[in-house]
Structure 1
Amino acid sequence: MTQRPKESVIGAPGIPQLLMVVLCCFSGFALLLPVSPAWAVSGGADEFGAGLVTAVLMATTVLAQLCVNATLRTLGWTRTLALGALLLGLPAPLQALGDQLPTILLTTALRGAGFGIVTVCGSIAAAALAPRGRQGAAIGLYGFAVAVPQVVLTPAAPWLVGAFALPAIVACGVLPVLALPWTPALGRAVAARVDGPAPAEDRHRPATPTPTPAVLRRIALPLAVLLLVTSGGGAVLTFAPQFTATPALAAACLLTLTATAAAARWGCGSLADRIAPRPITCVLTVAASAGLLLIALAVGPEPVTTPLLLTGLLLLGVAYGGLQSVTLVQAFDHAGPENRHLTSVAWNIGYDAGTGLGSLLLGLAAQVATFSAGFTTMSAALAVAPLAALLAGRRPPAARAPDSHRSPSTREAPHRLRDIP
């Protein structure tokens, strides 16, 4: 019996619009992630103040993510997506008007609210719009689109800051507004999949979502891993210009991290459709811990050891990108389609809380001790994650019900690797 060929992910309804919205919104985000802290430093802020900028961005992102479901019920998908793009983009020109820390923190808080909306809606859309059996591939493609702006703009930020006036670069954070033409079509496509009638193969599912505590217990391990790895990645993205000697080295560091992360997000997403996420998680957390340790050694008291630093960033980048896709696939898989909204909120909170926490803690470590001490502590924390992944109990049976995105061959063969939690 011949198998029906799998549908193309990139040609699925709504996916092209999702990719355009993501590229516009994350371009503004990626550009200002290292630039806003540098703008604060130029206005007289210290390392802790620079870290506080990213921490405020992530804190308001998390608060907004908690309100996204209520906003969707009130405004609908199209208006909610447009609101997120406007809040993320419009405060950037206002931030460019002054380099004092309170002004930067206020406009950053508004941008964080928009970013929270975009991230929750984006991950729900990636899972909902995925063709049957291709959820991992769709999430990987979504992650690649998220990462591309970081590959291009985040490494270029130190060079842009040196070549152009800082206020002009800050004002370019208005890029998310360019996503508005694609939000109506995307909103309609997602609403049809999320709020419309359930596919026939999903009608055996519970009619109502699972209670929140039960869902959070199911997805606790992937969220914990995500929190740890994004702490390391967020710290590097925020402080690369500070722990490197030259703008060129800072750009090389950011490019190494973001390029490997982009490739790993796409590749590991597709890989998660074929084999169990848990072994992938163990391998990638070991790589992240080793990468952070190499970075700590490279930025120690002696002059920065460039080869060691870039090797550490390469390992961290693979883990940082790969674990984003794998943990999101794992979280959706464990929680079930009826809990997509809650799962997306929880996963994005873990991602953004980790980014903000890592930036804040590394800034504090640099002020109290050294960057090297901060990276060493992060490496030690990640070293525990593979053991936790191996010792964690199996998923509850209720979470094992097949979903519309798992391939028929996987559903019919529960003994295969893909069904191992």
Structure 2
Amino acid sequence: MSDPLKESVLRAPGIPQLLIVVLFCFSGFALLLPVSPAWAVSGGADEFGAGLVTAVLMATTVLAQLCVRRALRTLGWTRTLILGSLLLGLPALLQALSSHLVPVLLTTALRGAGFGIITVCGSIAAAALAPRGRQGAAIGLYGLAIAVPQVILTPAAPWLMGTITLPAIIACGVLSVLALPWIPALGRAVETRTDTPPPGPDQPQQTTPAITALRRILLPLTVLLLVTAAGGAVLTFAPQFTSTPALAAASLLALTATSAVARWGCGELADRISLRPITATLVSAGCAGLALIALAIGSDGERVPLLLTGLLLLGAAYGGLQSLTLVQAFNRAGPENRHITSVAWNIGYDSGTGLGSLALGLAAQAATFSAGFTIMSAGMAAAALAVLLSGAQPSRGSSATGRPRARGRSRVRR
């Protein structure tokens, strides 16, 4: 009998197509994330208008995420993914035609709807297409495909804005449409894996109420909310709490590059070791990283080594916990609740990013950036304690991979 841990996830049906689709879609998204607000400013918008662009993007993303399940039932996987790709890519061409705030907001709203579809479908597909026993590895690869465009394109956007005209950069958001040739094969593969036969007379269908599934994944979602709040705060305010543009760029690179590696590596580890210890370790690392950042920017003279060390620790937690919390959420909620889990996880991620930026901004206005990071560090310390104290999960009839579980006291699945 072959060892499932030695199976190649990349060779699993649908996984290569999923990674290609995600790379193209997230490339178009990451490139325009900092550019669209600048495009609105060039058209006469003030700082509030620029912030409104990002706010509209995230609001329509969340609204679309809530509608994905109905879209999949009505349109099927292939048409839903095509719709998401087109909504994410084609409005960029229209946005490049006018920098006035209203057209930018309207096209951004359409792009947010496409992004919401892609994010929910992508995480469901990663779990559904994973070979048995390799769900963590599949989610890790999916996370890496998401992170790579963000590592390369988001930090490069300011340089591109000084080199290429803004309309040309905006039009490059059409990259998402290049995913279309791979979507039909991906849609067929996911439909094959998600279609389950009706239960027989001796095999009653086991379902978990949505509220019960959400209660089971509350702790992973709380951890996700806190770590994405910390990451979102750094991504938003790095230019403000650092002394030079070069240090701001180095800080962002330290966070994003480390998180990309950690997101992939922790997905691989999730299939091999218990999740609770590694989750507690990463939450503790995030707590320490935030404390070091607070100390570095709160001192009289900026301590660059201390700052970068803190960002590396936070980056490891920021990336690694994204994979681990998604694996935990799918395992705890069960395969029958993949849609609910994916929507809840993605909303938690987007909400955490926005709330972290808002919280640090308010803290900096009322006190200092250092005080804001200190409060975030305390929150992560409480989360680490909660993870360490979390006991066994209620036993379930079957695991997320479809294998029956032994009777008796069950523990968090690996």
State the TM-score, normalized to the length of structure 2: 0.89
Query: Superposition pairs for residues 244-393 of structure 1, below 5 Å?
Result: 244-300=242-298, 304-367=302-365, 369-393=367-391
| Match 2:219 to one of 205, 218, 221 | 221
SS in 2 for 1:143: helix
Alignment partner of 1:8 is 2:8? yes
8 Å contact from structure 2 (residues 395, 409) kept in 1: no
Q: Tell me the residue number matched to 1:237.
A: 235
C-alpha displacement at 1:26, in angstroms? 0.8
Query: Superposition pairs for residues 133-144 of structure 1, below 5 Å?
Result: 133-144=133-144
Q: Tell me the residue number matched to 2:399.
A: 402
Gaps of 5+ in 2: none
Relative distance call for 1:246 and 1:2 in structure 2 (3 A) is closer
Relative distance call for 1:209 and 1:416 in structure 2 (3 A) is closer
8 Å contact from structure 2 (residues 15, 126) kept in 1: yes
C-alpha displacement at 1:370, in angstroms? 4.1
Q: Could you say what the CA RMSD is over the residues aligned between the two structures, in angstroms?
A: 3.0
Q: Distance in 2 between matches of 1:204 and 1:90?
A: 50
8 Å contact from structure 1 (residues 223, 347) kept in 2: yes
C-alpha displacement at 1:275, in angstroms? 1.6
8 Å contact from structure 2 (residues 291, 310) kept in 1: yes
Identity of aligned residues (%): 73
C-alpha displacement at 1:387, in angstroms? 1.2
Q: Tell me the residue number matched to 1:168.
A: 168
Amino acid at match of 1:24: F
Q: Cα deviation per residue 1:126-159 (whole Å; 9 max; x = unaligned)?
A: 1111111111111111111111111211221222
Q: Distance in 2 between matches of 1:303 and 1:52?
A: 35
Q: Tell me the residue number matched to 2:78.
A: 78
C-alpha displacement at 1:285, in angstroms? 1.1
Q: Distance in 1 between matches of 2:346 and 2:312?
A: 24
Q: Distance in 1 between matches of 2:146 and 2:73?
A: 25
8 Å contact from structure 2 (residues 81, 118) kept in 1: yes
Relative distance call for 1:250 and 1:162 in structure 2 (3 A) is farther
Relative distance call for 1:328 and 1:198 in structure 2 (3 A) is farther
Q: Distance in 1 between matches of 2:359 and 2:375?
A: 10
Q: Tell me the residue number matched to 2:182.
A: 182
Relative distance call for 1:159 and 1:361 in structure 2 (3 A) is same
Q: Distance in 2 between matches of 1:205 and 1:49?
A: 57
Amino acid at match of 1:374: G
Q: Tell me the residue number matched to 2:120.
A: 120
Q: Distance in 2 between matches of 1:333 and 1:225?
A: 16
Relative distance call for 1:298 and 1:163 in structure 2 (3 A) is farther
Amino acid at match of 2:271: D
Q: Tell me the residue number matched to 1:149.
A: 149
SS in 1 for 2:11: coil
Relative distance call for 1:353 and 1:40 in structure 2 (3 A) is same
State the TM-score, normalized to the length of structure 1: 0.88
Q: Distance in 1 between matches of 2:370 and 2:96?
A: 32
Q: Distance in 2 between matches of 1:205 and 1:109?
A: 45
8 Å contact from structure 2 (residues 25, 179) kept in 1: yes
Relative contact order (C-alpha < 8 Å, sep 6+): which is higher? 1
Relative distance call for 1:178 and 1:287 in structure 2 (3 A) is same
Amino acid at match of 1:13: P
Q: Distance in 1 between matches of 2:266 and 2:183?
A: 28
SS in 2 for 1:384: helix
Q: Cα deviation per residue 1:251-294 (whole Å; 9 max; x = unaligned)?
A: 32222111111111111111111222111111111111222233
Q: Tell me the residue number matched to 1:45.
A: 46
- Larger displacement relative to structure 2 (27-36 or 243-252): 243-252
C-alpha displacement at 1:324, in angstroms? 0.6
SS in 2 for 1:58: helix
Query: Superposition pairs for residues 174-213 of structure 1, below 5 Å?
Result: 174-197=174-197, 207=205, 209-213=207-211
Q: Distance in 2 between matches of 1:336 and 1:374?
A: 37
Q: Cα deviation per residue 1:376-403 (whole Å; 9 max; x = unaligned)?
A: 33222222101111233431223x6334
Q: Distance in 1 between matches of 2:308 and 2:54?
A: 23
Amino acid at match of 1:180: L
Q: Distance in 2 between matches of 1:204 and 1:386?
A: 43
Q: Distance in 2 between matches of 1:310 and 1:41?
A: 31
Number of aligned positions between the proteins? 413
C-alpha displacement at 1:29, in angstroms? 1.6
Q: Tell me the residue number matched to 2:17.
A: 17
